[in-house]
Amino acid sequence: MRDLFADDESLPQQWQETLCPGAMILRGYAADMAEQIFREIGCLTDVSPFRHLVTPGGHTMSVSMTSCGALGWMSDELGYRYTPVDPLTGRPWPAMPVFFRLLAENAAATAGYTGFCPDACLVNRYTPGSGLSLHQDKNERDMSQPIVSVSLGMTATFLFGGTQRDAPRRRFPLVQGDVMVWGGQARLNFHGVMPLKETLPPWPLQEMVRYNLTFRRVMPPGVK
Ligand code: MD6
Ligand code: FE
């Protein structure tokens, strides 16, 4: 669907692109929130800084990560999991900014998933050469909920596959402000991010970096 106000150039362009049943990209959805999101990332990384995690296989990830919310995602020799405490600081992860939660909840509802209430937000930071190999997001206990993913900073190429690792993959550019929502029958699709290329960072960034926020519901409602 093309933007309702497409003839008004003062408004950001927004439209929806369906990747497959259950998954869509809301193009430009968060474009006018970029500055506010960068400010929030600055605040939360003062508490829980970006760090390069090690996979269970012993490989250091090229993307650096942190989290906010009741639960944060981590990885080490013992496996992938969510924890209430940041292992780097020994303190709880910073709270999820209310503005982040509302952005995720509204984007999910726009894509047809009402009542999304994330308890974890993983923040990824890419620099040129950083990428994410093909994976499934399956550490969440509540698979009935979608994932909401917000792209900021430099454009990346997203790889979107099927439920089997060797299924064909399609490539989608993700630019600053694009929000991806996926769930339902696409919830366990394999996906990844191609190594970031050196390009011009979008306003207001001064450095070659891409950020991605992924909001998840890890625990079923009522489970502590
Ligand atoms: C990224 N995103 O875009 C990495 N996972 O930086 C993900 O791995 C991802 O965007 C699940 C759902 C949406 C995503
Ligand atoms: Fe993922």
Spell out the per-residue pLDDT of the chain, length 224, in tens.
555 555 566 666 789 999 999 999 999 999 999 999 999 999 999 999 999 999 999 999 999 999 999 999 999 999 999 999 999 999 999 999 999 999 999 999 999 999 999 999 999 999 999 999 999 999 888 888 999 999 999 999 999 999 999 999 999 999 999 999 999 999 999 999 999 999 999 999 999 999 999 999 999 887 65
88: left (phi over 0), alpha (psi -120 to 50) or beta: alpha
pLDDT confidence of residue 20: 94
CB atoms within 10 A of CB 23: 22
Q: Give 65 Cα–ligand 2 centroid separation in angstroms.
A: 13
Distance of alpha carbon 59 from alpha carbon 27, whole angstroms = 33
Please give the C-alpha separations between residue 141 and each of 81, 112, 145, in angstroms, as whole numbers. Answer: 11, 21, 10
Q: Give 63 Cα–ligand 2 centroid separation in angstroms.
A: 12
Q: Give 134 Cα–ligand 2 centroid separation in angstroms.
A: 8
pLDDT confidence of residue 1: 52
Distance of alpha carbon 1 from alpha carbon 89, whole angstroms = 45
Q: Which ligand is nearest to the CA of 132?
A: 1
